[in-house]
Structure 1
Amino acid sequence: MEDILQQIEERRTSFKTDNYSMSIGELVNLYENDEIIIRPEYQRLFRWTHTQKVKLIESIILGIPIPSIFVYQNDDGIWELVDGLQRVSSILQFFGVLKGESPLILEATKHIPALEGIKWENEVNPEKELPSGLKLALKRAKIQLTIILNESDKRAKFEVFQRLNTGGSNASNQEIRNNIMIMINPTKFDWFNSLTSDTNFLETLSLSDRLLDEQYHMELGLRFIALSFFDFNIKKDVSDYLDDINEQILELEDAKLTDIQLNFTKTFEKLNSLLGEKSFKKYNGADFKGKFLESSFEAISTGLSKNIIKYSDSANDQDLFDKIKNLYHQEMYNNTSGSGSNAKSRIPKLVPFAIEYFR
């Protein structure tokens, strides 16, 4: 019991926060004066639909409370946005001040159909400009902020971001990992983003636009790195394991990153030249057909990665092709990847098998 209380007290003191109620007008002024930072890297992850943005503005107009915004106060007293990107960005875009974005034009809603075509300012068509009374009401509307003070543990903002977003519907697990990587080390994120944008890699996956938008390809890239260069933790769910690897990548030295990148490039260049978009589809006896299979990705990419020196020689291309084709007849593969299987139970058996199989 003493250990529990001591550990709670140690962690509790690492989070120092303050709550503050601010008008939206003040928030806009802070942004225009560079006193609140929305990291430019986040903008590429800003993916609310137009309708979602309009509904937020409608909620504020109707006086419906919106969730708190979380910011981190750095050593200079500047606030860095930790959680609330979509909400803050939508507000700033409607006010016409969001850098790199055109002003938001509202659309008709269920409760206020007259919002159709309304802008904050509209010199071309003044009848479609938000009335001055509503402008004042919006500027004066209050928004709640939770401020993570700079006396907090330096990793507090990352911990808060992950906890607030994990399990939510607005961001996939990989989007959360990407944001954490950006916050901790933008240079490492650029490296990882460049790696998972590799043409050969993307062509072997053949993913839908929806999965690409959710950055599933980046999760697969992380999964490849994790299974090829790190030990699998059987005690953790795969998502938690990938969270850990995501943070470990941030600590890697450049020489190790170069090794990973070289192996990654060779592996997917070989697969794309051999099978292209069929690389991770099941062989049905005549051809590789169907959807992308996560279990195939784990087995083939990791097995090839660990034996890439052997298969770098084009003389072994036929052998590799036959190995991939015959993978789907292997008892171990079928037993671990059938219906009802899950990655946590599959990976500890499938990956060692695949490494030996492709050897």
Structure 2
Amino acid sequence: MTPTDSANATATLEDELREARRTISTDSYPMSIGELTNLFREGELVIRPAFQRLFRWEDDQKSLLVESILLGIPLPSIFVAQDATGRWELIDGLQRVSTILQLQGLLDPEQYPPLVLQGTKYLKKLEGRTWDGSPEDALTDAQKLDVKRSKIDVKIIKRESSEETKYDLFQRLNSYGSTLSAQEIRNAVLVAVNPNFVEWIQQLAKRDSFVETTMLTDKDVAAKYDEDLVLRFLWLHRQQDTSTASLRQFQEKLEEQALAMARVHDQERDQLEEVFGRTFDLLAAEGRDRVFRKWDRNKGRFTGGFLNTAYEVLAMGLGYRIANQMDHRSDILDAAKELWGQPDMNTRFATGKATEQRLALMLPKGRQLLAPAAEANDGS
């Protein structure tokens, strides 16, 4: 590389840095737990319901946090995003902030009763302690003041920052050891764009015909994989460019599409819900709990559990034809059997390709496979 090339490369990087830095504006502010609690009470610190449902620490984890506070151990920073009205919306630190609020009895008591602490390594006498109650059970006034006066650093993403940047930051923060699934992270940010969109996705995931055909495990449902599949359908059944290049970096593309759909939810909702409903109602009527499983010709039955490949071919293919008002096959189980009889449909294929490579083959395959016999024979 010549000195001129090097200078150009450096200048280009600097240009990218300047542009990227303009997309996010941040501030940092240390505040006491008492101040943070008051912001929540006054509605100036917002925890969206869909995000709050991700609060999943056990009581021993909550007690360890309270122990750290009482011992004066510094707490990690929390991150908030400032909305258009100036309120702070929590985007990272849910477990810590929710524990502090539950300790004080400030969360929904039906879902999160006031916290009863457990004994810890250094504070065994925490066992059975509560915020309020009898003198024998409750923390003392001095201990409560210790909690309220403890400091926590608040990182503020100001309202000038773009939604995409807030989303990206939340993802990065939650990739450093968090156990949240991709869809849980996605939901936590989408609620800031359009909470109605997130609730709608959750409703679609509970539709009887969708549940009956996907037959996901409890573990998958707990990780919101059903909602992930709904989002994939809503995007991919109408994706015109099905090339590998257009689907590369699939998770990022899915997140971009989710944000785009959330922004125009009011305009698209009815049409998308109709296509989704017709697609899965037909799949359930014809294939019930077998349609997304593998057809074993030797055994003469569908075997195993839910398979992405079958979902991508049959659900996306049928949805595409319904959305575009094209005729489609009604013998869904026969189509599923034909799918697994094709030479490129084997276990090694289903597990051995990158997502974008698999989709680039499966999406066109489904649109053709679900075509009526006359159209398929014409090759149209």
TM-score by length of 2: 0.84
Partners of 2:320 and 2:82 in 1: CA distance: 45
**Aligned partners of 2:80 and 2:92 also within 8 Å:** yes
Residue 253 of structure 2 corresponds to which residue in structure 1? 241
Letter in 2 for 1:280: F
Residue 6 of structure 1 corresponds to which residue in structure 2? 15
Task: State the identity as a percent.
Answer: 38
Residue 187 of structure 1 corresponds to which residue in structure 2? 196
**Aligned partners of 1:232 and 1:241 also within 8 Å:** no
Cα 1:179–1:233 shift into 2, 3 Å: farther
SS at match of 2:28: strand
Cα 1:337–1:69 shift into 2, 3 Å: same
SS at match of 2:244: coil
**Aligned partners of 2:283 and 2:332 also within 8 Å:** no
Letter in 2 for 1:105: V
**Aligned partners of 1:233 and 1:241 also within 8 Å:** no
Deviation at 1:15, TM superposition (A): 2.3
In the alignment, which of 96, 106, 110 is matched to residue 117 of structure 2? Answer: 106
1:265 aligns with 2:265: no
> Which 10-residue stretch deviates more, 180-189 or 154-163?
154-163
Residue 38 of structure 2 corresponds to which residue in structure 1? 29
In the alignment, which of 90, 99, 102 is matched to residue 90 of structure 1? Answer: 99
**Aligned partners of 1:158 and 1:183 also within 8 Å:** no
**Aligned partners of 1:94 and 1:103 also within 8 Å:** yes
1:128 aligns with 2:137: yes
Partners of 1:232 and 1:168 in 2: CA distance: 33
SS at match of 1:130: coil
1:358 aligns with 2:370: yes
SS at match of 1:146: strand
Partners of 1:258 and 1:63 in 2: CA distance: 53
Letter in 2 for 1:300: L
Please list the CA deviations of residues 185-224 of structure 1 after superposition, one character each: whole Å capped at 9, or x if unmatched: 1232233222222121012111122211111001111111
**Aligned partners of 2:287 and 2:332 also within 8 Å:** no
Partners of 1:209 and 1:118 in 2: CA distance: 34
1:206 aligns with 2:211: no
Please list the CA deviations of residues 16-39 of structure 1 after superposition, one character each: whole Å capped at 9, or x if unmatched: 222121111221122222232223
Name stretches of at least 5 consecutive residues in structure 1 with no aligned partner.
Answer: none
Residue 329 of structure 1 corresponds to which residue in structure 2? 341
Cα 1:167–1:271 shift into 2, 3 Å: farther
Q: What are the within-5 Å matches in structure 2 for residues 36-75 of structure 1?
A: 36-75=45-84
1:291 aligns with 2:300: no
Partners of 2:222 and 2:156 in 1: CA distance: 30
**Aligned partners of 2:51 and 2:187 also within 8 Å:** no
Partners of 2:164 and 2:296 in 1: CA distance: 49
Partners of 2:71 and 2:301 in 1: CA distance: 58
Letter in 2 for 1:139: K
Deviation at 1:103, TM superposition (A): 0.9
- The root-mean-square deviation of aligned C-alpha atoms, in Å, is 2.4
Partners of 1:233 and 1:184 in 2: CA distance: 29
In the alignment, which of 11, 16, 20 is matched to residue 25 of structure 2? Answer: 16
Q: What are the within-5 Å matches in structure 2 for residues 209-224 of structure 1?
A: 209-224=218-233
Cα 1:298–1:147 shift into 2, 3 Å: same
In the alignment, which of 121, 126, 140 is matched to residue 115 of structure 1? Answer: 126
Name stretches of at least 5 consecutive residues in structure 2 with no aligned partner.
Answer: 1-9, 372-380
Partners of 2:268 and 2:83 in 1: CA distance: 31
**Aligned partners of 1:20 and 1:145 also within 8 Å:** yes
Deviation at 1:273, TM superposition (A): 1.8
**Aligned partners of 2:317 and 2:366 also within 8 Å:** yes
Partners of 1:250 and 1:336 in 2: CA distance: 36
Cα 1:217–1:132 shift into 2, 3 Å: same
Partners of 1:121 and 1:199 in 2: CA distance: 44
**Aligned partners of 2:50 and 2:187 also within 8 Å:** no
Partners of 2:162 and 2:283 in 1: CA distance: 44
Please list the CA deviations of residues 16-63 of structure 1 after superposition, one character each: whole Å capped at 9, or x if unmatched: 222121111221122222232223342233333333323322332333
Residue 282 of structure 1 corresponds to which residue in structure 2? 294
**Aligned partners of 2:91 and 2:189 also within 8 Å:** no
Letter in 1 for 2:244: I
Cα 1:153–1:169 shift into 2, 3 Å: closer
Partners of 1:253 and 1:70 in 2: CA distance: 27
Residue 357 of structure 2 corresponds to which residue in structure 1? 345
Partners of 1:50 and 1:295 in 2: CA distance: 40
Partners of 2:349 and 2:120 in 1: CA distance: 46
Deviation at 1:129, TM superposition (A): 1.5
Letter in 2 for 1:92: L
Deviation at 1:350, TM superposition (A): 1.8
TM-score by length of 1: 0.88
